[in-house]
Amino acid sequence: MFNIKYIIFGIKIKKNMFLKTSLILTKVVLIITIAIALVLITGIIYWHISPNSYDLVELTHQFKAEYGIGDIQVHLNAPSTRVDKVFISELNAGTMYWLFFRAMFFIGINLLILLKIVGILRSIRTIRTFYDTNIRNLKSIGFYAAIAAVMSSFNFGLWRSEWQVNFTIPWAVIMVSVIAFVLAEVFTEGKQLLEDKNMII
């Protein structure tokens, strides 16, 4: 389709546009993730200076247990009702730190996984697919996703003198972890086959 042949290490290979696009997209997501992390850090610093500035910032899913940093909604004007709505300015310091730590944890996990994906995509482009590095990368992704699954399974917060604790089973994250570990096994098999092939003269 969009394949262009080029030569690397004396081997003619097809330049796969899909891989190139994936690599660019992954890098873009990586940059966006870093930007979100910086915004959050700036946000928590500013919260120390002026907590009331977040009077119109609402946690729309409250303390829902899920993978990710949660959704926030910034109201342009004061909402008609504040009942059952969690506004950041109403949170105590402990809950705020917990939510910040949780958000930074998921951002960190995202960054680590994205870096591993970049490594895998680069190796595939240079025809170094079935190598130990990729097996380690995939196992790391599986491990990070497993940790993220544990962290995603619960969330809590103190709001208006009432503790809210939520639990869930994060199927999607668990599946990512399982798929990564299975792929690591597939790559191990691939490495073995490649070694066998190279030993045939």
Partner 1 sequence: MKIIVNLDVVMAKRKMKLKDLSEAVGISMTNLSLLKTGKAKGIRFSTLQAICEALDCQPGDILEYKK
For partner 1, the binding residues in 94-133 under the rule CB under 8 A are none
Binding mask 158-197 for partner 1 (x = CB under 8 A): --------------------------------------x-
With tokens 């299975």, the residue in question is 182
Interior angle at CA 156, CA 87 and CA 174, nearest 5: 120
Q: Least distance from C-beta 193 to partner 1, angstroms?
A: 11
For the bound state, the minimum distance from the C-beta of residue 201 to partner 1, rounded and expressed in Å, comes to 5
Smallest gap from Cβ 12 to partner 1, in A, equals 18
CB of 190 to partner 1, least distance (A): 16
Query: Environment class of residue 112 by beta-carbon count within 10 Å: exposed (0-12), middle (13-18) or buried (19+)?
Result: middle
- Which region, left, alpha or beta, applies to residue 173 given φ > 0 means left and ψ of -120 to 50 means alpha? alpha
Cα separation, 119 vs 22, in Å, equals 12
Q: Does 11 bind partner 1 (CB under 8 A)?
A: no
The rounded distance, in Å, linking the Cα atoms of 2 and 23 is 16
Residue with tokens 């939520």: 166
Token pair for 132: 């130990």
Beta-sheet pairing, 11-15 with 4-8: antiparallel
Q: Which two tokens stand for residue 198?
A: 């190279």
Structure tokens at 99: 């939510």
**49 lines the binding site for partner 1 (CB under 8 A):** no
Closer residue to partner 1, CB minimum distance, 71 or 195? 195
- Using the minimum distance from each CB to partner 1, give the nearer residue, 35 or 193: 193
130/144 with CB nearer partner 1: 130
Under the binding rule (CB under 8 A), the answer on residue 76 touching partner 1 is no
Among 4, 7, 11, 200, binds partner 1 (CB under 8 A): 200
CB 195 → partner 1: shortest distance, Å?
A: 9
CA distance 197 to 191: 10
Q: Decide whether 12 or 197 has the Cβ nearer to partner 1.
A: 197
Q: Which residues sit at the interface with partner 1, rule CB under 8 A? A: 196, 199-201
